[in-house]
Chains A and B, each alone.
Chain A
Amino acid sequence: MEKLKDALDFSDFSKAERIGLVIFSVFLFAFPWIGAGSFTTTVMIQFLLFSLFGMGWNTIGGYGGQVELGKAQYVGIGSYTVALMMVWWKVPFWVSMPIGILIAVGYSFIIGYPLFRLKGHYFAIATICTSLVLKDIFDNWNLVGAAKGIELPIHDHPDFLYMQFKSDTYYYYFIMALFYIALFYMNWFRKSKLGYQLRMIKDDEDAAESLGIDIRWCKIKAYSIASAFVAVGGGFMAVYNLYIDPASTMELSLSIKIALMAMLGGAASLWGPIIGAAFLVPLDRFLGSWLGGQKGLTGIDFMIYAALIMIVSAYQPRGIWGIIEQFRKRGH
């Protein structure tokens, strides 16, 4: 009960932030009615999906300060669990997604146990390695479609059990619901014991240990929470795209994007991943459709994207939210 209250309580934010949240929420709810085209709707769905990923990453990467670059493997686990169970045994989404989460969490504990013996660069590269190993396996495993991937059977009629709808609007509202669950969860998380302990670990590991914090165990817990978030998003990707392959679910660039959105928006803040996704997803999409499609300009879109990453990391490593906070502090 108290947890629920904490999750819904935004009172420690400034008035501007709370008003912003309300306006943003109204916009989200009303969005399908303002007559946006299907392209914009897909962009919005991507935005909500990446916000979800980013919020998950923020537990271990933002609050915990661990450079985690292997989240894509959990996108893969979530989406493959849903897809395979549906193809093989006709298991409904609502059963297969929780199973996907369980597998992701179980797997994250197994991987996390050795992983969190490592620090710094060793850790960052090891997270990439674990993710690539899984991708390699799926790329070559014929039973799960290998590099060709798998297609989900398309139903003739809309089917809630299997999350198959004709219109993107339903998917939009579904991912929006997941987004809010994630947002409320994170709002609780940042005030929870684990949230405080992780921030201490990020600040000063030695001091954290002297205050009775089992550092490794805390990191593993946060890592598995992040993995669960990401697996949910992966499950959604499977039913939304109706087609998955290792390249779209487990690629290194996906891992990096997830971490990057949170970083760019402002790690270790509730709004950071959302701001980051709101910035990068449309940029990625619009650059892609404007420039990527033009003959002779392939690559320019990603060059701009990459240049932005470079500029932000060199000049404002605390992200967009960091800039806003700086201005606010100056205002005091």
Chain B
Amino acid sequence: MLIADALLQGILMGLLFALVSLGLTVIFGVMDIVNFAHGEFLMLGMYSVYWANLFFHIDPLIALPVSAVVGVLLGLASYYCFIKYLLRGPAIAQLFGTFGLMLFLQYFAMFLFSADYRMIDKGLLVGKSLSVGPFIFDWTKLAAGILSLIAFAVVYYFLHKTKTGKALQATSLNKEAASYMGIRTDRMNAIAWAIGGGTVGMAGGLLVNFYYAYPMVGILFVMIAFACVALGGFGSIKGVFFAGLLVGILEMIFPVFGHLIGSDFLGPHFKFTVVYLAYFIIVVVRPQGLFGWKN
């Protein structure tokens, strides 16, 4: 019973993780860059919904588009003002560069919003729960899971069915060939950053319904996203979806196992350790990702 419950909760979290990781894998696929600041886009997405709720009394659910728009703008601004220049340098400089961006946004948030932990306490779904048979779901988590799934599906559709999306896919398969075909790499990069920022910003907007917003919240989620992206195979959209689910389930189910066998070392504190270890083991054993899918 405990396990079935953890499984269901894990799936809901996993859907959200998939949405968080989606942008990272799209960006990686198109331009082969790992964006450390990804978690900070999430953080700012969380804050945008939080402030909209506090100042304008907009319900967090209705304010969701705000977080997506904030994310898109952040993504575009980062790309045009910074990442573009970073691309000329070696890989190591790119890593440090996005790390610098991450620090910058963290402390920018600290400066503006202070280090306080903030949580939304009123909203349509906040604090309400739904019981189905023996299971009890928080409405906020249920909404997060379902809306994540929808958002993921929309992006998936965009990438596979529209012309721009196909061009994006072509770029991530082979940059040179794509540019010969007349696809403008620069524009594709910008679109990738817009998608990346938008999806993760929206994920932040969903997350803030049941999780604290604070300036350093991003690092936790960026590590989860790294794990998902690696598990799914860097750049693979389908891969990251299932990897997100898997990580969500792992994260929920391990503490339960720990509880069942009475072990402290599988306690809730270690749920992220499990994620890091999973990443480490899987990239060492199967560097092509868990499923070996290439997009």
Interface residues of A in 112-139 (CB under 8 A from B): 114-115, 117-118, 120-122, 124-126, 128-130, 132-133, 136-137, 139
Q: Which residues of B contact A120 (CB under 8 A)?
A: 91
Q: Which residues of A contact B287 (CB under 8 A)?
A: 117-118, 122
CA distance A130 to B84 in the complex (A): 31
CA distance A128 to B273 in the complex (A): 12
Q: Which of B34, B89, B115 contacts A313 (CB 8 A)?
A: B89
Q: Which residues of A contact B284 (CB under 8 A)?
A: 114-115, 117-118, 126
A22 on the B face (CB < 8 A)? no
- Whose C-beta in chain B lies nearest to the C-beta of A122? B283
Q: Which of B96, B227, B279 contacts A263 (CB 8 A)?
A: B96
Q: Which residues of A contact B90 (CB under 8 A)?
A: 317
A252→B219 contact, CB < 8 A: yes
A314 on the B face (CB < 8 A)? yes
B210 on the A face (CB < 8 A)? no
- Whose C-beta in chain A lies nearest to the C-beta of B277? A133
Q: Which residues of A contact B283 (CB under 8 A)?
A: 118, 122, 125-126
Q: Known interface pairs A122-B283, A125-B226, A299-B110. Does A306 touch B104 (Cβ–Cβ under 8 Å)?
A: yes
Q: Known interface pairs A67-B91, A260-B96. Does A299 touch B276 (Cβ–Cβ under 8 Å)?
A: no
- Whose C-beta in chain A lies nearest to the C-beta of B227? A129
A309→B267 contact, CB < 8 A: no
A8 on the B face (CB < 8 A)? no
CA distance A312 to B94 in the complex (A): 11
B270→A317 contact, CB < 8 A: no
Q: Which of A67, A129, A308 contacts B276 (CB 8 A)?
A: A129
CA distance A307 to B230 in the complex (A): 29
A140→B270 contact, CB < 8 A: yes
A315→B107 contact, CB < 8 A: no
Interface residues of B in 54-111 (CB under 8 A from A): 82, 85-86, 89-97, 99-104, 106-111
B272 on the A face (CB < 8 A)? yes
CA distance A137 to B219 in the complex (A): 18
Q: Which residues of A contact B114 (CB under 8 A)?
A: 298
CA distance A129 to B96 in the complex (A): 17
Interface string of A297-320 (1 = CB under 8 A from B): 111111101111110111101000
B151 on the A face (CB < 8 A)? no
A263→B223 contact, CB < 8 A: no
A133→B97 contact, CB < 8 A: no
A313→B111 contact, CB < 8 A: no
B223→A128 contact, CB < 8 A: yes
Q: Known interface pairs A126-B279, A260-B96, A317-B89. Does A306 touch B103 (Cβ–Cβ under 8 Å)?
A: yes
Q: Which residues of A contact B101 (CB under 8 A)?
A: 306, 310
Q: How large is the interface on A (under 10, 10 to 19, 20 to 34, 35 or more residues)?
A: 35 or more
B269 on the A face (CB < 8 A)? yes
Q: Which residues of A contact B86 (CB under 8 A)?
A: 313-314
A298→B97 contact, CB < 8 A: no
Interface residues of B in 11-38 (CB under 8 A from A): 28, 34
Q: Which of A122, A299, A309 contacts B97 (CB 8 A)?
A: A309
Most chain B CB inside 10 Å of its own CB: which residue of A114, A252, A260, A310: A310
B214 on the A face (CB < 8 A)? no
B234 on the A face (CB < 8 A)? yes
B111→A136 contact, CB < 8 A: no
B92→A133 contact, CB < 8 A: no
B100→A129 contact, CB < 8 A: no
Interface residues of A in 282-332 (CB under 8 A from B): 297-303, 305-310, 312-315, 317
Q: Which of B108, B264, B276 contacts A303 (CB 8 A)?
A: B108
Q: Which of A65, A129, A256, A312 contacts B279 (CB 8 A)?
A: A129
Q: Known interface pairs A118-B283, A140-B270. Does A125 touch B103 (Cβ–Cβ under 8 Å)?
A: no
A313→B272 contact, CB < 8 A: no
B100→A310 contact, CB < 8 A: yes
A221 CB to closest chain B CB (Å) equals: 19
B96→A133 contact, CB < 8 A: no
A256→B34 contact, CB < 8 A: no
- Whose C-beta in chain A lies nearest to the C-beta of B28? A121
B156 on the A face (CB < 8 A)? no
A216 CB to closest chain B CB (Å) equals: 12
Q: Which residues of B contact A136 (CB under 8 A)?
A: 269-270, 272-273, 276
CA distance A137 to B270 in the complex (A): 8
A8 CB to closest chain B CB (Å) equals: 31
Q: Which of B100, B223, B230 contacts A122 (CB 8 A)?
A: B230
B280 on the A face (CB < 8 A)? yes
Interface residues of B in 238-271 (CB under 8 A from A): 264, 267, 269-270
A60 CB to closest chain B CB (Å) equals: 12
B230→A317 contact, CB < 8 A: no
Most chain A CB inside 10 Å of its own CB: which residue of B28, B90, B99, B219: B99
Q: Known interface pairs A300-B111, A307-B100, A314-B89. Does A124 touch B95 (Cβ–Cβ under 8 Å)?
A: yes
B234→A121 contact, CB < 8 A: yes
Q: Which of A121, A253, A309 contacts B96 (CB 8 A)?
A: A309
Q: Which residues of A contact B272 (CB under 8 A)?
A: 132, 136
Q: Which residues of B contact A139 (CB under 8 A)?
A: 269
B230→A140 contact, CB < 8 A: no
- Whose C-beta in chain A lies nearest to the C-beta of B284? A114
CA distance A126 to B223 in the complex (A): 10
A201 CB to closest chain B CB (Å) equals: 14
Q: Which 4 A-B pairs have the closest CB atoms?
A: A309-B100, A317-B93, A299-B111, A313-B97
16 contacts between A and B (CB under 8 A): A117-B284, A121-B34, A122-B234, A129-B277, A129-B280, A130-B276, A132-B272, A136-B269, A136-B276, A252-B219, A263-B93, A298-B114, A309-B103, A315-B85, A317-B90, A317-B93
